[in-house]
Amino acid sequence: MATENVGIFIDSKADLKGFKEAETAAAKLNKNIKTLATSLGVAYGTRAVVNFGKAAVKAFAEDQAATIRLAKAVDNLGMAYANPEITKFISGLEKSSGIVDEQLRPAFQALLTTTKDLGTSYTLLNDAVDISRGSGIDLATVSQDLANGYVGITRGLKKYNTGLTQAQLKTKSFSEVLTVLNKQFSGASAAYLDTYAGKLDILTVAADNAKESIGKGLVDAFARAGGGQSVQDAVKTIESITQAVNALVTTVSFAVEGLVKLYRFFDFIGSLGGLLKVKPQKMAADTTKQQTTIAKTQIKASTALTKAQKTNTAELKKQATLKKAGTVFDLEQIQLVAALKGKLSDEEKLRVEAQLALLNGNVDLAKKLTDQILAAQDSTGNLSKFLSALPNARNPFEYLDAYLSYLAGKAAAIATGQAAPNAPSATATPAPMPSTNVPSAANEPMISYNTMTGLSYNPNANQPVINVTVQGNVIKEQELIQQIQNGTQLASLSGSPSQIGRIAGMFG
């Protein structure tokens, strides 16, 4: 069951895409028809003439180039005298075979350069025309195959289906092969010319020749108009004329437009109203297209920028995360943070915070905290005063002077018999230490560190006292030993279970 209409459709809109396309296509068609209709009046004639003029000039130029090419080849063969005759032959053959001279000349050139004989080339070209018509293969190929066959290369002749094998083609002379070919294709050209297509070809040749003739005339005329004699001068003149004609047509079209507006005002030519919309429509379409292109470019650029910004932000975030992770796993910082969480005195806390600040590279905070620590150590300022008032370092060997003088005096006394001088006395006393608020160091007991065992031993520490209380009457050492032996014996005889852990080396 069709349930298409059983529903509530919200914000329904006509999707006119298809209709719009059809409308646009119809408008375009209408516009084209009008353009064509407009052109038919004035422009088409001019345009056709100009186009025909261009084509004629081009045909003449090509024909002239082919003629010169062949003439040059004939000159090079030392047969320059034969050029008029060749031209006449080509012209005659063109008319009789319905093949344009642009095809005949290269074919003849190929044969002449190979055979180097005019008569043979004429004959072969005639044969080639027949073979080409009979086989359907183009004249240039046939001529080249015949030229190759003339010099013994008969491989290309196989495609004409003469009935000769490759070996026969090789063994037979060219004249024999040509006889076979002529026998097969003789009269093909004449027969072809009897057909409708052949007659059309003859007409084409005639038209082509006419075009070339007209082209020659136009070239001469335009070249003269352009102030020269070459084809290039003629082409320039034609282009100039074309532009002038186009400008004229445009001007005329504007004039017509004005007239149409005027006529429309009088409501005389309502049917020509569509002409007025052609130009604005095109302009609007161009503007829309341009705007769309700009919008697309901007959207593309915006997308690229957003992408780059996103990438940059992501990278920064990544780096920040890594740094944070590195901070989290910095053991030294962990220890410091843990220490801060513990019970610390104010001064200790300051020290830890200062170290933490130094680790994190916070110079200002570290300096501030360090100053606080120093102030806390010496709030009276006496320590710094004492340090600044300290005298210069004394000579540690000062006493040697007095001692040596004493020894010298004593030696002199021995020698002279006089009384010995008094011994020097060390009376220098160091300056007393000032009182500060720095706590005095605790009277640490002497600690020895055994590098072999890693254990510390403090000989000043109190010796541990082990008291063993034994049930019974134990006064002497012997009695203690006896008690232990009895206990051990009793335990072994009682059969109480015992366990031995061999791996751990335990017994119990």
Partner 1 sequence: MPTVEISGNTELRKALRRFAPDLEKNLRKEMASGLKPVVRAARGFVPAESPMSGWAARSFSEGRFPTYNAQAIQRGITYSTTVSKKSKNGFTSMASIKNKSAVGAIYETAGRKNANGQNWVGPKAGGSGKGVSRSNNPKAGQQFIDNLPPLVSSLQGRGRLIYRAWAEDKGRAHNIVMKAIDKTISEFYARSAAKTLGKAA
Q: Which residues contact partner 1 by CB under 8 A? A: 1, 3-4, 6-19, 291-292, 294-295, 298-299, 302-303, 306
Q: Which residues contact 73 (CB under 8 A, 6 or more apart)?
A: 109, 112, 113
Please, what is the minimum distance in Å from the beta carbon of residue 289 to partner 1?
A: 12
Please, what is the minimum distance in Å from the beta carbon of residue 199 to partner 1?
A: 57
**Which CB, 11 or 267, lies closer to partner 1?**
11
Please, what is the minimum distance in Å from the beta carbon of residue 7 to partner 1?
A: 4
Please, what is the minimum distance in Å from the beta carbon of residue 218 to partner 1?
A: 50
**Contact yes or no for 336/352 (Cβ under 8 A):** yes
Helix H or strand E segment including 457: strand 456-457
**Which CB, 26 or 203, lies closer to partner 1?**
26
**Which CB, 292 or 321, lies closer to partner 1?**
292
**Which CB, 1 or 393, lies closer to partner 1?**
1
Please, what is the minimum distance in Å from the beta carbon of residue 27 to partner 1?
A: 18
CA distance 257 to 277: 10
Beta strands 506-507 and 456-457 are: unpaired
DSSP single-letter state for residue 506: E
**Which CB, 310 or 323, lies closer to partner 1?**
310
Closest-CA residue to 257 (of 233, 274, 235): 274
**Contact yes or no for 107/89 (Cβ under 8 A):** no
**Which CB, 30 or 303, lies closer to partner 1?**
303
CA distance 99 to 200: 11
**Which CB, 76 or 309, lies closer to partner 1?**
309
- Token pair, residue 308, equals 């780059």
Please, what is the minimum distance in Å from the beta carbon of residue 301 to partner 1?
A: 9
**Contact yes or no for 133/229 (Cβ under 8 A):** no
Please, what is the minimum distance in Å from the beta carbon of residue 287 to partner 1?
A: 11
CA distance 475 to 466: 17
Q: Which residues contact 98 (CB under 8 A, 6 or more apart)?
A: 192, 193, 198, 199, 201, 202, 204, 205
